[in-house]
Structure 1
Amino acid sequence: MFETLDHRFTRFLLESGALKFGEFTLKSGRKSPYFINAGAFDDGRRIATLGAFYAEKIQTEIDNERLPVRIDTIFGPAYKGIPLAVTTAIAMQLNYGVTCGYTFDRKERKDHGDGGLMVGKPLEDGANVLLVDDVMTAGTAVREVVPKLKAQADVNIVGLVLSVDRMEKTKDADVSAVQAVQEEFGFPVLAIANVRQIFDAGRQLADPAGDGMVVDDAIARAAEEYLDQYGA
């Protein structure tokens, strides 16, 4: 049976232990009934598989003309974005024959050796840069990264690819963080899956630990109540 990208990605999140249900306090202070932990991709197989999902999403959006054919480098903000940029660049080469550089920033400028703030493919005027990150909550990381990139060179930031769009409104507006970033910076923000797709898929996946589905009625109800309050 054919499975969509979001369905396959949900299965991967669950098998990796990256998607958990319960009660979690987010950085925003909100109490969420679900949590996505990018730190769960902690071995070669998992991080390679994650990179393949990012690459599949990127290639799909290139085919749909939402991203340009030419991507000069994939940028991942330190620290979580570093392995994402590297594994995605590898997957683009292996799976699609597309050569992309990878670049990431240092938390502090290095004043010895090769020096500088950036590591990887150098940023040059006119370069097409694609950002990758895990989960966007408020868009803070993007707002920190864009000025850093522009300070290095007059690059074209062509988009941002996330693992999951939580579809939550910001504290200051009724639009989601994804929508706010798109409006502010003018580039598309794309997610492998959004939280509603994940819950829809979870209701169709059998729970390997017992009877029933991964997402039962209680979990689904808690998620709906949360999104009714905070969703955009």
Structure 2
Amino acid sequence: MYDRQQLIRLFHERALKFGDFTLASGKKSTYYLDGKQISLHSAGLRLVSFGLLELLKDVDYAAIGGMSIGADPIVGGVLTAAGELDRKLDGFLVRKEAKGHGTNRYVEGPVQPGSKVVVIDDVVTTGGSALLAVDRILEFGCQVVCVVGIVDRKEGGAANFAARGLPFRALLSIEDFGIQPPTV
């Protein structure tokens, strides 16, 4: 169900762009990985979803989620793949701003305080977006057991997670696309 080489090909065909870019981290780059081109594509989302379940097969967790809007399709895909495998799993989404009405929560979904959770991000550079999701889900009362990415750009994210005592895994690294990461 997970074909790593096919996922790499899809990134090359759909998501890897060259030029001058400013990343969410504020860093400048000569390439850009548009993770939404994969997570909003049927074959891409299927590969990512089954790949993440395989990557996390030895991790004890009850829910997976991350920052909305980037994590939204990934969470839905992983939940669907888990359902196909008869694996019970909940999802959650973390808002950038608390909802201004109702519960005024940052965290949405059936996840409960005390749950062991995995935080997902599509492309990890410094890990800033994932760390914001980590902070919000910790405030909510959950235990973050792992942070995962689809692609690790190898620009400090893993070190930032390690500094917080958070295990990190990624399906792919920038080196899988023939690009050498900068010295961090």
Normalised by the shorter chain, which TM-score bucket?
Answer: 0.7 to 0.9
Which is richer in helix?
Answer: 1
Alignment length, in residue pairs?
182
Which letter maps to 1:129?
Answer: V
Between the aligned partners of 2:91 and 2:21, the Cα distance in structure 1 is 33
2:45: which partner in 1? 50
Superposition TM-score, scaled by structure 1 size: 0.68
> Can you give the 5+ residue segments of structure 1 that lack an aligned partner in the other structure?
169-175, 200-222
| Matched ranges for 1:44-123 at <5 A | 46-47=41-42, 49-62=44-57, 65=58, 67-68=59-60, 71-94=61-84, 96-113=85-102, 115-123=104-112
Which letter maps to 1:178?
Answer: A
Between the aligned partners of 2:149 and 2:44, the Cα distance in structure 1 is 15
1:139: which partner in 2? 127
Between the aligned partners of 1:54 and 1:186, the Cα distance in structure 2 is 25
Q: Cα distance 1:29–1:54, how it changes in 2: closer, same or farther (>3 A)?
A: same
8 A contact 2:71–2:93 mirrored in 1 = yes
2:113: which partner in 1? 124
Q: Given the alignment of the two structures, is residue 8 of structure 1 paired with residue 6 of structure 2, yes or no?
A: yes
**How many Å apart are 1:30 and its aligned residue?**
2.2
Superposed CA RMSD:
2.4
8 A contact 2:67–2:96 mirrored in 1 = no
8 A contact 2:66–2:130 mirrored in 1 = no
8 A contact 1:166–1:195 mirrored in 2 = yes
1:177: which partner in 2? 157
Which letter maps to 1:11?
Answer: R
> Can you give the 5+ residue segments of structure 2 that lack an aligned partner in the other structure?
none
Q: Cα distance 1:52–1:185, how it changes in 2: closer, same or farther (>3 A)?
A: same
Which letter maps to 1:196?
Answer: E
Q: Given the alignment of the two structures, is residue 192 of structure 1 paired with residue 171 of structure 2, yes or no?
A: yes
Superposition TM-score, scaled by structure 2 size: 0.84
Q: Cα distance 1:84–1:42, how it changes in 2: closer, same or farther (>3 A)?
A: closer
Find the residue that maps to 2:176 and give its secondary structure.
helix
1:165: which partner in 2? 152
**How many Å apart are 1:29 and its aligned residue?**
3.4
Deviation larger for 138-147 or 106-115? 106-115
1:152-173 CA-to-partner distances (Å, cap 9, x unmatched) read 11x22111111111112xxxxx
8 A contact 2:3–2:47 mirrored in 1 = no
